Copies of this chain bind each other. A is one copy, B any other.
Amino acid sequence: MPVLHQMQMSGNCYKVRLAGRQLGLSFKLKDYPEHDGLTRKPEYLAKNPNGRVPMWETDDGKYLPESGAILFYLSEGTTLQPTERWARAEMMQWMFFEQYSHEPYVAVARFWLAYAPKEELEKKRHLVPEWHAKGNAALGVMETHLKSRDWFAGSQYSIADIALYGYTHCAGDGGFTLSDYPALSRWLARVAQTPGFIPLSQSW
């Protein structure tokens, strides 16, 4: 059976659990404690030299890191990917947007403000205004899109929505005010109504 190497509270790992549940897949979880540094140890680095979770392990012992790549791999040929060429381009647009312009601020603020040891946070405190400025800019870009669209890629729910949902729905943990974004807030509610939806806290 495939294995998802993961941390439960990581939004990047949650994206894979959510897609996996909605696709009806069978797989096991292997959990890594948040602060143990196991993903930087030689045994893990032999599987993923970049030392991060999530990592997908196939039945035949191959390893795939990067949440976006895992989402893409698991959903090829399913209803979680549009088939029309432009909609597929939009799907990729928003998945790259999320990893480059959203996650490094929205997810990072959440990690440091909600999960990191307090004494570590103090060393990062001076970065909080930049995280909030750039994170709010990213949420603003999403809001603009969602004023006229229900979903991010084409006219259907896809892995682009899952990729953006992962850290947007819990942005409040990082000090963001989601009620400032009404169209985005309605989209969050739509995602939570999709068949097979599971919340971040729910284990496999």
Q: Give me the interface of A with B, judged by CB distance under 8 Å.
A: 49-50, 62, 64-70, 72-73, 76, 85-86, 88-90, 92-93, 95-97, 99-101, 103-104, 138, 140-141, 144-145
Quick one: copies of this chain in the complex? Answer: 2
Verify A92–B68 contact, CB threshold 8 A: yes
Query: Which of B50, B70, B90 has a CB less than 8 Å from the CB of A141?
Result: B50
Task: Enumerate chain B residues within 8 angstroms of A62, measured Cβ to Cβ.
Answer: 86
Q: Is the interface of A mostly helix, strand, loop or mixed?
A: helix
Query: Which of B49, B73, B85 has a CB less than 8 Å from the CB of A76?
Result: B85
Would A96 and B68 count as touching, CB distance under 8 A? Answer: yes
Which of B66, B73, B97, B145 contacts A97, CB < 8 Å? B66
Q: How far is the CA of A182 from the CA of B62 in the complex (A)?
A: 26
Interface pair B93/A96, CB less than 8 Å apart: no
